[in-house]
Amino acid sequence: MGALLAVAKRIFATKKLDVCILGLDNSGKTTILEAMCGTLQLKNTVPTIGMNVKQLKSNGVTMKAFDLGGQQRFRSEWLRYAAECDCILYVVDAADERRLPESRYEINRLLEDAGFAQKPILIVANKCDLPHMEPERIIQGLNLDYITDNRWAVVPISAMQRTRIPEVIKWLVGYAHN
């Protein structure tokens, strides 16, 4: 009877995962969140003031996603919220190479904080429906090759086209189940 109860608990148990969505302003964080939740409506979004919080469920994982504003004035708050999350979704506008150095600065600032030690990071290269940088260029531009304490991956997507959004969710679910 105890073994049956243990199996039932595993089957019906829901894992919880807090995800922090970070990135520069206009990288598509809110659009990605809406696409992940299945609530994306093709309209112009307004810049996030503060944060958006949404919850979604997939494959036995309940994810609470915190989409933090990417404007310069909100970036000082990233550390406070992201340190409490289980993993980071860091969004890069793959169609805007001129902002790659600024994005590298911000991700490195996060990684220097002790609260981020060994926290997994999924780099989401958004806007791949436009002329864009290849993942190798983003890896090089963000100096990801030098990140050894954190598990990381890069997934090129188009949030507006909903391209590869399931891969983002799959990565998050996979992390929660490990």
In the set 41, 71, 118, 161, the catalytic residue is 71
CATH number of 14-177, picked from 3.30.930.10, 3.40.50.300, 3.50.30.30, 3.90.650.10? 3.40.50.300
**Tens-place pLDDT, residues 51-91:** 789 999 999 999 999 999 898 888 988 988 888 899 999 99
* pLDDT tens-digit readout, 108-157: 998 888 888 789 999 999 999 999 999 999 999 999 998 888 999 999 99
Write the DSSP symbol of residue 40.
-
41 is catalytic: no
